[in-house]
């Protein structure tokens, strides 16, 4: 499993709860954070290198726990997965399936990074759900970096969130896709701004369910009782990853190994 930073730990948390018997390795590419404003072609090369590194460790499944990485480079990760005979589970499609299923009005919002919105990945995924949906997408370039920094919430952050939510409120969405795995950390703030009747769809629950279905379908689910292991790799500063990562995972991280991404700039 990999993400641009610690946001994907919200996905790992749900997987650890839903699939406690499985072993997980998580890579946080903190040296390259944020993905949301990176050059798409350079990012695709980076995703290829990360997929090669993780699948070289004989993983049985690769999870892209990052909305931007899914939007920009899911096809690249799948190419690497095919060479290793490994299935890839992205984060966009599972969220789109849930959002399309639970919206009553058909008005769905997407709050995401610029790269994710510009890719059109969520719009395509929602259009494939065979429902007449009115989709409102909003770019939130400053939200993930704020969360990744671990800065305290203040009045300025609240105003930033309100500005991002304003187009969603005008569109009267009844369902909002949190299109970045960092965003669940500010879900209470977003819920207050949008109102309690707006359903928030995060990546964690959606991806954990998709992982479970995929493992069971392919006969790869672990049947042994007891808890599996989880370990961490990061490409940036280990101490900051540990400090902030504990907040995201809501569990102890243990030792984190710093790694370089071969062949990537």
* Side-chain half-sphere exposure of 263, counting CA atoms within 13 A: 10
Match 């969520």 to its residue by tokens.
122
The values of phi and psi at residue 25, to 5°, are -125, 125
**Whether 165 is catalytic:** no
Pick the catalytic residue: 15, 66, 165, 234?
66
**Whether 15 is catalytic:** no
Task: Judge residue 105's burial from the number of C-beta atoms within 10 Å of its C-beta, 0-12 exposed, 13-18 middle, 19 or more buried.
Answer: exposed
Pick the catalytic residue: 15, 165, 180, 234?
180
> How far is it, in rounded angstroms, from Cα 85 to Cα 154?
47
CB-CB neighbours of 116 under 10 Å:
27
Closest CA to 124 of 95, 87, 165, 102: 95
Q: What is the largest CA-CA distance in the chain?
A: 50
Q: Which residues are catalytic?
A: 66, 180
């Amino acid at each position: 499993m990999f993400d641009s930073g610690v946001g994907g730990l919200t996905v790992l948390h749900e997987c650890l709860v839903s699939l406690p018997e499985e072993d997980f390795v998580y890579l946080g590419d903190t040296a390259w954070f944020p993905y949301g404003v990176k050059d798409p072609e350079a990012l695709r090369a980076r995703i290829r290198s990360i997929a090669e590194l993780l699948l070289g460790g004989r993983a049985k499944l690769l999870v892209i726990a990052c909305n931007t990485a899914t939007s920009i480079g899911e096809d690249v990760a799948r190419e690497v997965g095919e060479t290793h005979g490994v299935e890839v589970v992205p984060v966009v499609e599972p969220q789109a399936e849930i959002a399309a299923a639970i919206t009553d009005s058909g008005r769905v919002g997407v709050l995401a990074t610029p790269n994710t919105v510009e890719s059109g990945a969520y719009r395509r995924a929602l259009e494939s759900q065979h429902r007449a949906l009115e989709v409102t997408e909003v770019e939130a370039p400053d939200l993930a970096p704020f969360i990744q920094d671990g800065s305290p919430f203040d009045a300025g952050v609240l105003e930033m969130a309100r500005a991002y939510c304003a187009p969603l409120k005008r569109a009267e969405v009844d369902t909002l896709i949190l299109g970045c795995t960092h965003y669940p950390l500010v879900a209470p703030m977003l819920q207050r701004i949008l109102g309690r009747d707006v359903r928030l769809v995060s990546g964690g629950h959606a991806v954990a369910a998709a992982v479970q279905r995929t493992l069971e379908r392919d006969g790869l689910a672990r049947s042994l009782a007891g808890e599996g292991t989880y370990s961490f790799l990061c490409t940036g500063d280990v101490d900051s990853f540990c400090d902030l990562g504990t907040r995201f995972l809501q569990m102890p991280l243990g030792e984190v190994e710093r790694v370089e991404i071969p062949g990537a700039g």
